[in-house]
Structure 1
Amino acid sequence: MSFDLSRKIFNPLEDYLGVVMQQGRVQTDADWNTLVAQFKRRLQAGSLDTFGPSAVPRETADGFLITGSATDPEIGAGRLYVDGLLAENHTETLKWDARLAETSGTARLSGARLDAAPTGPAGTTPYTDQPYFPDPPALPADETTLLYVDVWQRDITYLQDAGLVDAAVGVDTTARQQTVWQVKGLTGVGDIDAGTPDVDIPGWLQ
């Protein structure tokens, strides 16, 4: 379901850097959403200019690192920037991040304590248990598979997240945009390695 918007007026060619509220004026969704769009573009453009098309920060050096077996890989906890978008694998393990002043780890969603022992391998997410990729296809054991991370943004309304309904008024008041990721496998790539140019990987540029 798409957002219920009056209009979209953001234009990056105008080089506006903010939206200023004036007293006594009628407030509309368009102005607020324009501010969000300006902020999003600034973050994405800044990330692209700083890191390039893809990068893993030093603070989470194992972010999306693939370990384990060929048929049952594990995905490392941490952050990854793809085309300026921030993807984050939180994993289940609870951990306090002093710099961001937050607790990471999906176990907190079930009310687990910070000192609770993780139920899975520390710092990884199984390929078969990805948060945004239910029931991924099995990976073959008899051929080389190229694993890659697909990152995009999607719109979320109260139909996907009932928590967006305001209990005080009984209806949704806002919606959300979400960055999601999936680790996928490309089979039939033949004898390749990390140094193989993209154009030489069968099926990669299709």
Structure 2
Amino acid sequence: MKGDFSRDTFDPRHHYTRVLMQQGRVHLDADLNEQSAISQHYLQALAADLIGPAGGPAGTAGFGISTDAAVGKNLGKRLDPGDFMIMPGRYYVNGAMCENPQVLLYSEQTGYPFDGNTTVDALAALGSYVVYLDVWERYVAAVEEPFIAEVALGGPDTAGRAQLTWQVRVLPATGEDPVNNQAFWADSLARTVPLMAARAEPPATNNDPCTIEPGARYRGLENQLYRIEVHAPGVAAVQGQGATFKWSRENGSVVMALSGVPAVDATAQTTTVQLATLGRDTDLGLVVGGWVELVDDASTLRHSASPLLRVHSIERDTFTVALEGVADPRVGTDPALHPYLRRWDHDGDPVAGGAVALAESIPGQPVWIDLEDGVQATFLANDQGVPSDYSTGDYWLVPARTATGDVQWPNDGSAAALNPQPLPPRGERHAYAGLSAVGPDPAGGPNPVHTELRKFFARLAT
């Protein structure tokens, strides 16, 4: 959630049932957001307990997969080899209600193609594969959905939205039995979850973990919510290759909408964009030498690590910005996909594509990475020494407060050690459900056979 928040306080381990406002007190965004998170957690847990990991109402469940050309023709859908239809209706995944309002081709989904192995042409050549539903929640701001903003305010935005987002994806299953082999799903979708810890910088002379010296503090002038996010996926970097990360002191919420199509000069390796605004003020705008990311709806849904671009110059009269680097040609060219720039505040490395190489520390021997103003982070390998799998979009939030001169991060529970506790990413949290397994016809027919993987539940009232 890349909104302009003070912090994110919801934690299911607290078992809170309500947020109770008190008279005469300051109202904070975190309190109101925690109340909605408590309610959502309860409703989704209840639905998951009643329905199970995934299921739809019998007879009317959505997300059926069809390759019936006659049905497609009646619905105005042309089915090319390898393509298929996603039928309308509702389906629940991990308690979250997914809705598809109309028949949709696999290739019509925003963000398609997702990768080279699951294009329609690739599916036509595959012997067998699994169609599954990928479900997660994402933050939507006014720059992505302009109707959220109240025009009577003359430009400022107000609240954002959390959107339940889904994609129908494909997993090649050559040589596997995805219907009866549970290990197929575990091997294909499971990963070693990464861990990170954060702290305020201790003085180099302090050898006593129980003593906090005056220099051991957050030295920023303002309260911040640092967002540390994985950019390029993979395992920790080795010799400059592997996962990378970026960070923002404003939770990645500083964004500026494009008002035209980016002009890319492949020879000069530059990209020029015209913006609708240069930001709310100088602190929340662009700076020469800073790093930005060109984003739109499709790249967000693809979870693609678009090249980070460095600001070369800013024409403030025309809102024109010259960027060093070549943008992804798939991003920013369609105004209907709400293209915009997102500002990042890290000191990027051009060798790492503008991000920072992500290196893991040995358990018990953390190597701390300096962000700014005393804020530090470390990525930790697990106790078994197995490299973690970093995914684009994994993120951690680090609130930094001037009142304490420290960051808000849990310790490991040892009063003598006061070591920051390694935590998994706060998101994005994805849930998955199988829809259909596609394979050759056992009878030798020319058309592939679909095996239903959806689960169904009966209505309480009939």
Q: Same fold (TM over 0.5)?
A: yes
Q: What does residue 82 of structure 1 align with?
A: 93
Shift of 1:55: 0.8
Give the whole-Å Cα distance in 2 for the aligned partners of 1:12 and 1:187: 35
Q: What does residue 102 of structure 1 align with?
A: none
Given the alignment of the two structures, is residue 157 of structure 1 paired with residue 157 of structure 2, yes or no? Answer: no
Q: Residues 29, 175 of structure 1: CA spacing in aligned structure 2 closer, same or farther, 3 A cutoff?
A: same
1:186 pairs with 134, 150, 171, which one?
171
Q: Residues 11, 188 of structure 1: CA spacing in aligned structure 2 closer, same or farther, 3 A cutoff?
A: closer
Look at both structures and tell me which one has the larger radius of gyration over its CA atoms: 2
Q: What does residue 101 of structure 1 align with?
A: none
Shift of 1:184: 1.2
Shift of 1:134: 3.4
Give the whole-Å Cα distance in 2 for the aligned partners of 1:3 and 1:57: 35
Given the alignment of the two structures, is residue 140 of structure 1 paired with residue 118 of structure 2, yes or no? Answer: no
Give the whole-Å Cα distance in 2 for the aligned partners of 1:55 and 1:37: 23
Question: Are 2:140 and 2:163, in contact at CA under 8 Å, matched by a contact in 1?
Answer: yes
Shift of 1:67: 0.8
Shift of 1:23: 3.5
Deviating 4+ runs (over 4 angstroms): 200-203
Give the whole-Å Cα distance in 1 for the aligned partners of 2:113 and 2:135: 18
Code of the aligned partner of 2:49: D
Give the whole-Å Cα distance in 1 for the aligned partners of 2:186 and 2:43: 33
Percent identity of equivalent pairs: 35
Q: What does residue 7 of structure 1 align with?
A: 7
Code of the aligned partner of 1:153: E
Code of the aligned partner of 1:190: G
SS in 2 for 1:44: helix
Q: Summarize the alignment of residues 30-49 of structure 1 with structure 2, pairs less than 5 Å apart.
A: 30-49=30-49
Shift of 1:16: 2.1
Give the whole-Å Cα distance in 2 for the aligned partners of 1:26 and 1:200: 52
Shift of 1:30: 1.6
Code of the aligned partner of 2:171: L
Instruction: Name the structure with the higher helix share.
Output: 1
Q: Summarize the alignment of residues 41-60 of structure 1 with structure 2, pairs less than 5 Å apart.
A: 41-58=41-58, 60=60
Give the whole-Å Cα distance in 2 for the aligned partners of 1:203 and 1:189: 13
Given the alignment of the two structures, is residue 68 of structure 1 paired with residue 46 of structure 2, yes or no? Answer: no
Q: Summarize the alignment of residues 52-131 of structure 1 with structure 2, pairs less than 5 Å apart.
A: 52-58=52-58, 60-61=60-61, 63-68=62-67, 71-91=82-102, 124-130=103-109
Give the whole-Å Cα distance in 2 for the aligned partners of 1:56 and 1:84: 11
SS in 1 for 2:152: coil
Q: Deviations over 1:155-187 (max 9, x none)?
A: 111221122222121211001111111111112
Q: What does residue 27 of structure 2 align with?
A: 27
Question: Are 1:199 and 1:205, in contact at CA under 8 Å, matched by a contact in 2?
Answer: no
5+ residue gaps in structure 1?
92-123
Q: Residues 141, 158 of structure 1: CA spacing in aligned structure 2 closer, same or farther, 3 A cutoff?
A: same
Q: Residues 47, 140 of structure 1: CA spacing in aligned structure 2 closer, same or farther, 3 A cutoff?
A: same
5+ residue gaps in structure 2?
69-80, 191-462
Q: Deviations over 1:7-50 (max 9, x none)?
A: 22223233222223334333221211011110111111111111
Q: Deviations over 1:51-82 (max 9, x none)?
A: 11111123632x11111167121111111111
Greater relative contact order, per chain length (Cα 8 Å cut-off, separation 6+): 2
SS in 2 for 1:88: strand
SS in 1 for 2:165: strand
What TM-score comes out, normalization by structure 1 length? 0.73
- Aligned residues, how many? 171
Question: Are 2:133 and 2:169, in contact at CA under 8 Å, matched by a contact in 1?
Answer: yes
Q: Residues 19, 26 of structure 1: CA spacing in aligned structure 2 closer, same or farther, 3 A cutoff?
A: same
SS in 1 for 2:131: strand
Q: What does residue 181 of structure 2 align with?
A: 197
RMSD of Structure 2 on Structure 1 (CA): 2.4
Shift of 1:150: 0.8
SS in 2 for 1:39: helix
Q: Deviations over 1:128-169 (max 9, x none)?
A: 112x44345224223212111111111111221122222121
Q: Residues 203, 38 of structure 1: CA spacing in aligned structure 2 closer, same or farther, 3 A cutoff?
A: closer
Question: Are 1:188 and 1:202, in contact at CA under 8 Å, matched by a contact in 2?
Answer: no
Q: Deviations over 1:90-130 (max 9, x none)?
A: 11xxxxxxxxxxxxxxxxxxxxxxxxxxxxxxxx2111112
What TM-score comes out, normalization by structure 2 length? 0.34
Code of the aligned partner of 1:82: V
